[in-house]
Amino acid sequence: MSGYPALPGGIAFGGDYNPEQWPREVQEEDVRLMREAGVTLVNLGIFAWALLEPAEGEYDFGWLDEVVDRLHAAGIAVGMGTPTAAPPAWFTKKYPDSLPVTREGRRVGPGGREHACSSHPAFLSATARLVERLAAHFGPHPGVAMWHVHNEYGAPLGECYCAWSEQAFREWLRARYESLDELNQAWGTAFWGQRYGSYEEIEAPRWSHTVVNPAQRLDYARFANHEHLAHYRLQRDLLRGTGKPVTTNFAGTVNCKSMDLWAWAPELDVVANDHYLVGERTDNHIHLAMSADLSRSIAGGAPWMLMEHSTGAVSWQPRGIAKRPGEMRRNSLAHVARGSDAILFFQWRASRFGAEKFHSAMVPHAGTDSQIWRDVVALGADARNLAEVRGSRVGAEVAILWDWESYWALELEWRPSEDLSYLERIEAYYEALWREHVTVDFAHPSADISRYRVIIAPSSYLLSEASAKNLQRYVESGGHLLVSFFSGIVDEHDGVHAGAYPGVLRDVLGLCVEEFHPLPAGGTVQVTGGPGRVWSERVRLGGATAVQTFEDGPDAGHPAVTRNALGAGAAWYVATAIDPRDLLREVLDRASVARPPGLPDTLEVVRRGPYTFLLNHGGSPVAVPAVHGADLLTGSAFVGEVPAGGVAVVKEDM
Ligand code: GAL
């Protein structure tokens, strides 16, 4: 990554701007209002392909020139979109086989967006022709600060099963495997007699009436990620010559299951993420924090951009739940606390027509005489007041392992229980840490993790031998590792590691698992420290000691939580789905991870450089007597208390 865009003033503030939906008078009013709200950055043209190239090979950039000039004259920077997420009708008409096909074999229809297959040759060449021209035309404009490529790769459809994709899959396999023998071996095709005699025999793993080879599915997920990334790279390389940073907005780091964002990050100049609350979850501020921490981790700790979020309700959830008073501000500043140097929204002005007309915006349908507008203007002032925070970094002593390949593999069919989910355990451990006021990084299992005091592996089902060795080295040299059940089970091809579970983790954990005993739907088992859900299993100690025991169920009397002292560190294991808070406290204490004492778990506390962000998600004021310094949001000394629903950003006295 080569760096954050050069943007005017404060934390970047603004959002997606679609002037093509509005007459000129409104566009002029837009710029006046943007200045009033303190907008510094807008993303343009993200879905405007049909207007920029109204017929094949005929380009019309004039209307957008005018908009860019007007914004530039007002001191507002532009993130220039490349509109490839919305291929025009003429393109689809000419290349109907560019429409993606689902795994079930349904061809996606036009009239929406994201309706071109990333492997289709005509889509690739049309992309290249348009982006080359956009680069040459807008690249030199001083008002264009960066490039916003495509939109949310992989959403809503990650994998395409059309004939072009299938052909590209074969090419990809030829490059991945040295020989067909190696492929047959890796996919375990001796099972159900699936052996392939030539690459031509291999098809995309389409829907079938029974389970399709899981190793093939896993490779198809890798392939799909590769194809989208190749489409991004094609554009990035054409834009590079302009000297302006290039990025693409992720469709939510946590929920964008189809893209391996560890592979994307090195290809971007700055990581950009979109985040939307699940309106009906009351703990959604914790999931927001998790998304932000994952974004920062993908960015390698560097400042990242919150490219989209909402001022209020979204239009694509079952119910468009509005944000409560103060919630938008807390949401925005929580992203900043966790490393974002931007607060951007979808979108500037609410659309009057189209699919998203009931989506909130910075300028709602009600106009400026509205609470949302007043809150937007106030947030613009916050963004300016936080200018000095820009570029500072968040430190974390604890990391949770995160691996998209494990996410994909764990959620294929025919696992020992359908109650297993990649996110469920990660969220449970994350939430417990959040409530302990512990800031968390996410790390790939093969990454350098030596700087963390504690590593948590709640969902490491797929774990390579090399990654397991990495964890072992970490523990031997003094680290504290906590592993949850159904981790270390399979290799990169979804093949069970040889011998007893948990394969490559047996040594570091000092135990093995004889048999899984998943619980019936809704079932629980009693463990010394409380109830366990979803899972029970027969743990046999081989060096580790039992810390807690199953008190009933299929493994009554056998270990449920264990600890293995190894080298200078220790490895813990949890054999069921517990509420991890008490156990985590013990591990954090032993690993000397300090937490601020005496604060309620409704107060979010994050340190970013010399700044302490205090976000009160509760209904009563919270006293924070230990924090002293200037509150950047008020410009005065921090009063030692955060009001109900309020935020303080304290630059601590040295
Ligand atoms: C995002 C998308 C935006 C807009 C938004 C609505 O996923 O990138 O274009 O549709 O959702 O919440």
Domain's final residue, options 389, 423, 440: 389
Tell me the catalytic residues.
152, 308
Distance CA 439, CA 604 (A): 10
Domain presence at residue 2: no
Whether residues 559 and 637 fall in one domain: no
Whether residues 457 and 557 fall in one domain: yes
Output the six-digit token pair for 425: 């355990």
Hey, what long-range contacts does 625-629 have (CB within 8 A, 24 or more apart)? Answer: 626/596, 627/652, 628/652, 628/653, 629/653
Q: What angle do CA 624, 626, 628 make, to 5 degrees?
A: 95
114 CB near ligand 1 (under 6 Å): no
Peptide bond into 531 cis (omega under 30): no
538 to 19, 456, 514, 519, 558: CA distances (angstroms) = 62, 22, 5, 13, 7
Rounded average pLDDT over 338-367: 98
Which of 77, 50, 46, 51 lies closest to 62 in space, CA to CA?
51
Q: Nearest 5°: phi and psi at 574?
A: -125, 120
Whether residues 355 and 470 fall in one domain: no
pLDDT of residue 49: 98
CA of 346 from ligand 1 middle (Å) equals 6
Report pLDDT digits (tens) over 157-191.
999 999 999 999 999 999 999 999 999 999 999 99
State which H helix or E strand residue 532 sits in: strand 530-533
Distance CA 3, CA 268 (A): 9
Closest ligand 1 atom to the C-alpha of 155? 7
Quick one: DSSP state of residue 321?
P
pLDDT of residue 4: 85
Give SS3 for 325.
coil
Percentage of residues in the chain having pLDDT higher than 90: 98
For atom 11 of ligand 1, the residue with the nearest CA is: 346
Rounded average pLDDT over 193-217: 98
Q: Which of 151, 247, 360 to mutate to test the pocket of ligand 1 (most atoms within 8 A of CB)?
A: 151
Domain presence at residue 6: no
Please report which confidence band the pLDDT of residue 526 belongs to, taking 50, 70 and 90 as the band edges. very high
Whether residues 154 and 211 fall in one domain: yes
Whether residues 406 and 478 fall in one domain: yes
pLDDT of residue 1: 45
356 CB near ligand 1 (under 6 Å): yes
Whether residues 585 and 610 fall in one domain: no
**495 neighbors 546 (Cβ within 8 angstroms):** no
pLDDT of residue 653: 80
pLDDT of residue 2: 54
Whether residues 369 and 435 fall in one domain: no
**364 neighbors 370 (Cβ within 8 angstroms):** yes
76 to 14, 128, 331: CA distances (angstroms) = 9, 28, 23
State pTM to two decimals.
0.98
Closest ligand 1 atom to the C-alpha of 252? 7
Quick one: DSSP state of residue 523?
-
Whether residues 357 and 459 fall in one domain: no
Output the six-digit token pair for 175: 């490059």
**465 neighbors 611 (Cβ within 8 angstroms):** no
Report pLDDT digits (tens) over 41-88.
999 999 999 999 999 999 999 999 999 999 999 999 999 999 999 999
Report pLDDT digits (tens) over 470-524.
999 999 999 999 999 999 999 999 999 999 999 999 999 999 999 999 999 999 9
Domain presence at residue 52: yes
Rounded average pLDDT over 353-374: 98
CATH of the domain at 615: 2.60.40.1180
Rounded average pLDDT over 271-299: 97
Whether residues 583 and 612 fall in one domain: no
Which residue intervals of 299-443 are DSSP H helices? 327-337, 371-385, 404-410, 422-435
Q: How many structural domains does the chain have?
A: 3
345 CB near ligand 1 (under 6 Å): no
DSSP state string for 2-69: ------SSSSEEEEEE-GGGS-HHHHHHHHHHHHHHT--EEEE-TT-HHHHSSBTTB---HHHHHHHH
Domain span at 614? 603-652
Residue reference for tokens 């079932």: 523
Average pLDDT over the chain reads: 97
Whether residues 124 and 232 fall in one domain: yes
359 CB near ligand 1 (under 6 Å): yes
**151 neighbors 249 (Cβ within 8 angstroms):** yes
CATH of the domain at 38: 3.20.20.80
Whether residues 639 and 563 fall in one domain: no
Give SS3 for 186.
helix
Whole-angstrom Cα Rg for the chain = 26
CA 474 to chain centre: 26
Domain's final residue, options 365, 389, 413: 389
Domain presence at residue 595: no
